[in-house]
């Protein structure tokens, strides 16, 4: 298989999904005030950082379930 095909077939890694979440939330704050945007950004970053710490602690990197 070509590298491009492999890239499309694989499940996204959880850090990638969390990054996408941050981008989504950033877009949702487009109409927030200039004071509210950074507060929301920091709150979302802290949530993602806590999730990443948890996932690293449990050695979880994908959504794949090993049965």
- What's the pLDDT at 4? 63
Q: How far apart, in whole angstroms, are the C-alpha atoms of residue 48 and residue 5?
A: 29
**Contact by Cβ (8 Å): 14, 63:** yes
Q: What would the pLDDT profile of 14-42 be if each residue is shown by its tens digit?
A: 889 999 999 999 999 999 999 999 999 99
Average pLDDT, whole number, for the chain?
A: 86
CB 11 within 8 A of CB 65: no
Return the percentage of the chain with pLDDT > 70, whole number: 82
Is the pLDDT confidence value at 10 over 90? no
For the entire predicted model, the pTM comes to: 0.72
């Amino acid at each position: 298989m070509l590298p491009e095909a492999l890239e499309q077939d694989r499940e996204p890694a959880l850090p990638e999904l969390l990054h996408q979440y941050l981008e989504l939330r950033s877009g949702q704050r487009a109409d927030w005030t200039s004071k509210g945007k950074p507060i929301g950004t920091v709150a979302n970053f802290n949530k993602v950082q806590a999730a990443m710490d948890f996932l690293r602690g449990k050695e979880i990197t994908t959504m794949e379930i090993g049965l």
